[in-house]
Structure 1
Amino acid sequence: MADRMNRRQLLTRALALGCTAAASPVLTPVSLAALPGTRRLVVIVLRGAMDGLDVFRPVGDPHLAALRPHLTQENTPLPLDDFFALHPALSGLMPLWHAGEMAFVPATSTLYRDQRSHFDGQDHLEAGTAGVLPPALQRDGWLNRLVAQLPHAQARTAFAVGRERMLILEGQAPMTQWSPGTDLDLSPQNRLLLSYLFDNDPLFAQAGRIALEMTATGTDTDDGDIPAGSDAAGLGQYIAQQLLADARIASFSLTGWDTHRDQHRALLPALGRLQDAILALREGLGPVWGETTVMAMTEFGRTARENGARGTDHGTGGALLLAGGALRGGRAIGGWPGLGDQDLYAGRDLMPLSDIRAYPAWAMRDLFGLPVSSIERHVFSGLDMGDTPRLFL
């Protein structure tokens, strides 16, 4: 045991890979739950409040242009139906839409209201609670509670990798956390030593090899985000590999969605990362994509009106993106509240029409057979799931 602990301590110090916390699959908080069955669920937390009104633009609403005179002139969107259009930075996802493998829910939100704090909003999203967040539940996430309700989850239920733990993963179900340091320049000799240690450690072998490969190619960034392009794709590929094995549930986060200034440019890198991750999941999973559901959700939306800096500020109603081979996609799920002055929440935000928790709740029922009563009582306390949105074929 002492030898194993010393080895883990060495890994903690030595895997300070010279790249940022979100620059590679190994340094991005990731949860993987191993379960029987063939259905897979991937939850992506979009940190920073994605502007659903820009990503899924309601071009059919007559009030949109007056609220966003500059933003509606930028980045000509791609028509999805006769009312909504997709941001062109997600053009690579259009084949999924046409194949019925992508959908979205407009005007949805957690029950968090009015304070519009990223930290509190993300806590509500990841804790999955209603109303005021009780202190006792601040370290109890709904994805962990889901795993705890599944009857045949393995003992090593989930693990997270990264410097920061994700609240959505915290709770009673088993989870392993590995937190590397930062800013260590690895010599060739140390790289060989760590490679040897990884090969003899079944828990870290694959993740370690990926980490060493990414440091060898210099994938570090300055702003703490996953850089656009290959690294977000690498993250998706890494998750896909785990889901092709015994993992059935995965979660990670993508940052960069806080667009107070020059949103037409500032939003592009985050959208590129999201697209890269989803397409890499689809490609990496191959035929298993047909049994996989991806849910990308954010803590809240943004203001209906653009601000003086041609950006948007913290709002309320947002959007949920869904993808997957078994999805009943190619559609907007739910209604539309309108953007007239009388329709806005607090006179400034998109009015939420649904509790965002209902959609992962129905996914739990349909993917894993969890009873509605168990979901409403043990996973999402205080939730009334309502009628099924018929997410799947």
Structure 2
Amino acid sequence: MAQLSRRDLMLRASALGCSIAASPLVTPISFADAPWDNRLVVIVLRGGMDGLDVVRPVGDPSFAALRPDARDGLPLDGYFELHPALAPVLPLWEAGELAFVHATSTPYRDHRSHFDGQDHLEAGFATPELGQVRDGWLNRLLQTQTGLRGDVAFSVGHGETLLLRGAAPVSNWTPEVDLMMSGPTLLLAERIMQNDPLFQATFEEAVQIAGSDGDAVMHGMAGAADVTDMEMMNPAPKGTSADKAKAQFVAQRLTADTRIASFSMNGWDSHRGQEALLSRSLARLADVLNVLRADLGPVWAKTTVLALTEFGRTVRLNGSRGTDHGTGGLMLLAGGTLAKSQVLGRWPGLSEADLYQRRDLLPTSDVRAHAAWAIRHSFGLDRDLLEQTVFPNLDLSHDLGLFA
């Protein structure tokens, strides 16, 4: 049999229509052990979630006039009510495994740009030099450790996000794209890679990742010859949304060697028709949380889930029955590591004099600080390291007591 070089294999893969840049076959990944047992999941809610509608401050005398359509809320603590679309996660609240921080935000102010707001959220910087930042706070967390392997952290979804971008090795997976190989092609690839340690390790990782959902890599199965080599497939079962597929994959990885996972959920930009849009998005979020809790099993007790958004929204509805880009927002936390279910944060009030620029909920805490305390609890990082390296110039002098 003629001998093929790595370059030959990649050229042939290109001829088959496979994107080499997206292929796990050429993703550099290094291997080592993780020093932690706890798990952290970070979900970025892209679009600016309206925290006032998600966790409703019905005890504030100004709320009813500002949000007359907020009905059927689920009581939480006598002052706040939960949006009815989150009813499926009430068991988490009752179990002490769900919490919220209200009136929180990154230091980003005034311009209310999705892109800039998300960059601030994921970079973890508060300074004007944000445009020079090339890594995210989750990756800087990984950089504080030595000898980590790529699958200690997973970025799940399309493309590379700033949150996990940086020098530390990170694995990536997208539920809509998977690697499928026929039996003969798999044997050929293994033979080509066997004498090259770098490519052999990378190839083995690709096969492991592709096969982890139980549906991707074919080892001489019947009919394999009829399947185009390196075919791009959708592994999610019928009826399973992309969000659920992400949650299922994350749970699979976290019950193995992975310790950190991050993915995004879109659909939170509610300029018009907010009632219907937010209900749909919250139902998806509830599904994700319940999938994580169910699939993680006993590992849920060691897991912290953070759901963050780039900013809140205006306190008043606009003419399209929606809300515009605001400032103070809401952070959601879930997992078996929480001290108890609670709504935290210093409530600023909703009278016009209390609002930020007389239009937005006033932020009274830094969302980065709550994320930093979650990291400190989960992985035991020193406070100085969090304040100087992971979140430069952050003040961690106040602990809200989110964790047991």
**CA 294–268 in structure 1, closer or farther in 2 if over 3 Å, else same:** same
1:142 aligns with 2:133: no
In 2, distance between residues paired with 1:52 and 1:88? 14
Aligned residue identity for 2:13? L
Q: Cα offset for 1:192?
A: 5.4
CA distance in 1, matches of 2:184, 2:332: 38
Say what the alpha-carbon RMSD is for the aligned residues: 3.2
Say whether 1:205 aligns with 2:200. Answer: no
Q: In 2, distance between residues paired with 1:87 and 1:297?
A: 17
Change (3 A) 1:34 1:165: farther
Whether 2:340 is the aligned partner of 1:329: answer yes
* Amino acid across the alignment from 1:101: E
Q: Verify: 1:282 aligned to 2:293, yes or no.
A: yes
**Distance (Å, rounded) in 2 between the aligned partners of 1:178 and 1:202:** 15
2-side partners of 1:9 and 1:381: how far apart? 46
Identify which of 354, 370, 375 aligns with 2:365.
354
Name which of 373, 376, 382 aligns with 2:393.
382
Q: CA deviation at 1:12?
A: 11
Taking the aligned partners of 1:279 and 1:33, their CA distance within structure 2 comes to: 31
**Which of structures 1 and 2 has the bigger CA Rg?**
2
Shift of 1:267: 1.1
Report the Cα distance in structure 2 between the residues aligned to 1:216 and 1:195, rounded to whole angstroms. 21
Provide structure 1 residue ranges, at least 5 long, that are not aligned to the other structure.
Answer: 22-31, 220-227
Cα 1:82–1:195 change in 2 (3 A) is farther
State the number of aligned residues: 361
TM-score by length of 1: 0.83
For 1:219-238, list aligned pairs within 5 A: 230-238=241-249
Say yes or no: does 1:164 pair with 2:159: yes
Structure-2 change in CA distance of 1:167 and 1:207 (3 Å): same
Cα pair 2:40 2:261 within 8 Å, conserved: yes
Distance change (3 Å), C-alpha of 1:8 and 1:246: farther
Q: TM-score, normalised by structure 2?
A: 0.81
Q: Cα distance 1:373–1:100, how it changes in 2: closer, same or farther (>3 A)?
A: same
> Contact 1:261/1:311 (CA < 8 Å) preserved in 2?
yes
User: Aligned AA for 1:127?
Assistant: A
Residues of 2 paired with 1:141 and 1:13: CA distance? 35
Which residue pairs with 2:39 in the alignment? 40
Q: Comparing 78-87 with 126-135, which one deviates more in the overlay?
A: 126-135
- Between stretches 382-391 and 113-122, larger displacement belongs to 382-391
Matching residue within 292, 301, 304 for 2:315:
304
| CA deviation profile, 1:107-166 (whole Å, cap 9, x unmatched) | 0000000000000000000000014243221x2100000111135533665454544210
Identity %, equivalent residues: 50
Moved more, 95-104 or 274-283: 274-283
Q: Give the Cα–Cα distance (whole angstroms) in 1 for the partners of residues 358 and 139 of structure 2.
A: 36
Check the 8 A contact 1:33/1:247 in 2, yes or no. Answer: no
User: How big is the shift at 1:6?
Assistant: 3.2
Task: Give the aligned partner of residue 271 of structure 1.
Answer: 282
Compared with structure 1, are the counterparts of its residues 161 and 331 closer, same or farther at alpha carbon in structure 2 (3 Å cutoff)? closer
Q: Is the contact between residue 358 and residue 383 of structure 1 (CA under 8 Å) also seen in structure 2?
A: yes
Task: Supply the AA of the counterpart residue of 2:366.
Answer: D
Residue in structure 2 matched with residue 53 of structure 1 by the alignment: 52
Instruction: Provide Cα deviations, 1:167-194, integer angstroms capped at 9, x if missing partner.
Output: 0011121235578998xxx9xxx95539
Q: Whole-Å Cα distance in 1 between the matches of residues 173 and 17 of structure 2?
A: 12
Q: Secondary structure at the match of 2:275?
A: helix
Contact preservation (8 Å) 1:33, 1:159: no
- Paired with 1:368 and 1:239, the residues of 2 have a C-alpha distance of 18
Q: Could you list the runs of 5+ residues in structure 2 that have no partner in the other structure?
A: 23-30, 191-202, 218-232
Q: Report the equivalent of 2:376.
A: 365
Report the AA paired with residue 215 of structure 1.
N
